[in-house]
Structure 1
């Protein structure tokens, strides 16, 4: 049970909202002005603040001037129109969501069902951040490069809000994983996450799949069918390759984004949906608008919070972490373990990966099958394109390590050397060999980032 403060100057509207909130098992109180709202916030910080923008003594957004008043309160803006400006404003100020007037009881009920205090969300994000520092993983995403750190910060910032996210990146970069991460960190996590590839469905069927259809609306429609928007109600709908959606359908999608309504195929009755949209494309959206494949007004409505995913060739330092993860998964499936040789790992980092992370996984699966014994060498890895630099140039060590005749790097350890000293020499030599690259060092040694950090700290590095 939560407590709601409703800041609304229209007495009838305020009382109606309070009744709806109480019907869902929460307590509620109304305030017709900013002055009274400030006093009530100071007396009893609510779980949710339903905030009208136009009030007799100022703009509702003035409450954000005192951040302490709303620091641990879920703020929901109430506005007469769901515009791009409202979305951006809500995001900038840290509002969790917004409701369009007149308030739809179904939308309000759905919003109240997912109340989570901001402090709890921040604690979860802090936990994920700590996990990333130790392991190089952020939920289902893997990578410790600067480019991926930027992606993680953007996910953490937008997940707790209700604004639309637009993910751009080449095929195989992990756009759906980003969408799932946003959903899992949001207040909608307990509701469905559904994904649809707009380019993989026939143009004749996609409208029915997204919006549903009535029985008898077309040949073969023997029963009523609920589309993705109905099934994702309260949750998140991921529209992959949205630039492949037919133009006539883009108009209907725009209406859903603006007022949360749609109609099933063959119906004249409006349906209400409370669904967060996350869209993605592997194309340049501006170019898609230029050639008429994407409506400009839809692009503006989708592109509230853009996230750009880097291709794998621009974050080669993440390849060891990704390879380690994929080999772990293969090991669990096959009930055995295999590791990459240092030379094979360097070759993986040098390869340009036009198919990105998806291609890397496929390449490792093939090499796993073909490799004899517990080590995977270079033989079955993808061949470098003509004119590419040799792998060693990408990870040149800062100090020459002794080499065995015709073999790879090695260490000479005196028999009787204490294990702690053996470990120290091995870690430092590998660290030097990898050019002081921590992620690559941890991957070669088969230890976690946390263990490596602790050892380097112990060695005062």
Structure 2
């Protein structure tokens, strides 16, 4: 029978908790102070500790060092929905936290998951063995050092109810990490729902997340259960969370603190026990600085951050991942194709700006193009590696600090033509405004004449960066620190304006 230790200085509250916990199949012990709790821990190791934050002889957090969390999990009980307190407790290793007055249904859900602690430890051990034998951890493939660190962090966070923030470039597998955390958690039998916060209209996202009542707005012809309610008992993955409207971020923070929300048009709040995992391909701290992400929400989401490495930083995993994709294609198509050594070598040499997603697409195309049973390097539609910056021809368009990478997608021909007409080695001007002879720009730089307008300087920088990225707009936008939409609008403007037209109307 699993054992629970209830650390609560209020006798009535402790008695009520003991009755609920006992009804769920636990033996119970109670302690009214830190001293009593330490004595109980020495007497018997509990499977779960329900720990009140405010105790007569100190703060409940002081007990964390006395609990062996390899065998016990700690659930914090607090009367204040404090972001700082809950984040501190979760970082110290608390599996969950409950707000007073206690929601009995949520308490029962926490207790139900606590009984599976031994099973979870066994699953995590089995996953570590799979890394060595197959190169797989959950839904992730790779055994390189950067991926082993990701595996380690997943193993730490999966058994808890801690919110996690996954960061990484597009295509690195953030949703697969979230899926793996869910699969290895005590919520594995519950639902896993994913929502892309940037793909839903700002007018509809509140309804999609929290639901709405019939007649709450035009078109609401029936009651709708939102993602939070449907994810009850499971995991809700919020992808591209920095794209969520700021006014909705306030409501999300409230849900994270209290576990309850109010559907659109409803009068009463609804409780839902959904674990939140968020992800973004932006730098979250930059999003905070730009006002796109609330700082308090960032710290609440980033209790346990996980950063995914780009594929170019774990090239030794590429053959393993490529063979995995090919094996799935063979099974689906009833084929038996394989890579040649030269094909795998070419895959390992590619820069992969689109990361694992781009690698998967390349394997699919190679599978189709290969006429026989082998996929050779010639069957892989990859752009050749770009030369290093110091190997470029003098005068070739480039910008300082721009990493060379082949294009995943072509920009419109007119945009690329505009970029190709720019000459980075432009004529300069003297301090008195007199033109000077054109000086070739060193590789990796774009030289501009003194006295040029900011608008024209921006135009030349954008076009040179786009040329450097071989017309790949998303890559160029990332380097320039602007959105792809902003870059697209600038290109439309440059295409419609005459030469030097970017200067018009600017001071």
TM above 0.5, yes or no, is: yes
- After TM superposition, the structure 1 = structure 2 runs for residues 321-336 of structure 1, keeping only pairs within 5 Å, are 321-336=320-335
- After TM superposition, the structure 1 = structure 2 runs for residues 48-127 of structure 1, keeping only pairs within 5 Å, are 48-67=48-67, 71-116=70-115, 118-127=117-126
2:490 aligns to what? none
Structure 1, unmatched stretches of 5+, are 390-461
1:453 aligns to what? none
User: Does 1:30 find its partner at 2:30?
Assistant: yes
Q: CA deviation at 1:269?
A: 1.1
Retained in 2: the 8 A contact 1:131–1:138?
yes
* Structure-1 separation of matches of 2:60 and 2:355: 46
* Structure-2 separation of matches of 1:126 and 1:386: 40
SS of match in other structure, 1:277: strand
**What per-residue deviation string (whole Å, max 9, x for no partner) do you get for residues 335-362 of structure 1?**
1111111111111111111111111111
SS of match in other structure, 1:329: helix
Retained in 1: the 8 A contact 2:215–2:222?
yes
User: Does 1:171 find its partner at 2:170?
Assistant: yes
* Structure-2 separation of matches of 1:85 and 1:119: 30
* Structure-2 separation of matches of 1:298 and 1:139: 28
Q: CA deviation at 1:314?
A: 1.4
2:181 aligns to what? 182
2:133 aligns to what? 134
* Structure-2 separation of matches of 1:381 and 1:197: 31
* Structure-2 separation of matches of 1:243 and 1:315: 27
Structure 1 stretches of 4+ moved >4 Å: none
SS of match in other structure, 1:223: coil
Structure 2, unmatched stretches of 5+, are 389-507
- After TM superposition, the structure 1 = structure 2 runs for residues 389-428 of structure 1, keeping only pairs within 5 Å, are none
Give the 3 Å change call, closer, same or farther, for CA 86–182 of structure 1 in structure 2.
farther
* Structure-2 separation of matches of 1:57 and 1:288: 42
Retained in 2: the 8 A contact 1:166–1:303?
yes
User: Does 1:39 find its partner at 2:44?
Assistant: no
Q: CA deviation at 1:117?
A: 5.4
Q: CA deviation at 1:99?
A: 1.2
Retained in 2: the 8 A contact 1:91–1:158?
no
**What per-residue deviation string (whole Å, max 9, x for no partner) do you get for residues 304-345 of structure 1?**
111111111111111100011011101100111111111111
SS of match in other structure, 2:132: helix
Retained in 1: the 8 A contact 2:210–2:228?
yes
User: Does 1:238 find its partner at 2:246?
Assistant: no
SS of match in other structure, 1:190: coil
Q: CA deviation at 1:130?
A: 1.4
The worse-fitting range, judged by mean Cα deviation, of 318-327 and 118-127 is 118-127
Give the 3 Å change call, closer, same or farther, for CA 181–66 of structure 1 in structure 2.
same
**What per-residue deviation string (whole Å, max 9, x for no partner) do you get for residues 200-221 of structure 1?**
1122221111000000111221
2:10 aligns to what? 10
1:342 aligns to what? 341
TM-score (norm 1): 0.80
User: Does 1:276 find its partner at 2:275?
Assistant: yes
Retained in 2: the 8 A contact 1:327–1:364?
yes
Give the 3 Å change call, closer, same or farther, for CA 386–60 of structure 1 in structure 2.
closer
1:222 aligns to what? 221
Q: CA deviation at 1:158?
A: 1.2
Rg comparison, structure with higher value: 2
SS of match in other structure, 1:214: coil
SS of match in other structure, 1:292: coil
- After TM superposition, the structure 1 = structure 2 runs for residues 359-378 of structure 1, keeping only pairs within 5 Å, are 359-378=358-377
**Which structure exhibits the higher relative contact order, with contacts defined as CA atoms closer than 8 Å and separated by 6 or more residues?**
1
* Structure-2 separation of matches of 1:373 and 1:150: 39
Q: CA deviation at 1:65?
A: 3.4
Retained in 2: the 8 A contact 1:74–1:117?
no
Retained in 1: the 8 A contact 2:8–2:31?
yes
* Structure-2 separation of matches of 1:235 and 1:260: 13
* Structure-2 separation of matches of 1:385 and 1:298: 43
Give the 3 Å change call, closer, same or farther, for CA 300–92 of structure 1 in structure 2.
closer
CA RMSD of aligned residues (A): 1.9
Q: CA deviation at 1:71?
A: 4.6
SS of match in other structure, 1:114: helix
Aligned positions, number: 388
* Structure-1 separation of matches of 2:169 and 2:71: 38
Retained in 2: the 8 A contact 1:168–1:308?
yes
* Structure-1 separation of matches of 2:93 and 2:260: 26
* Structure-2 separation of matches of 1:71 and 1:179: 23
TM-score (norm 2): 0.73
2:393 aligns to what? none
Q: CA deviation at 1:74?
A: 2.3
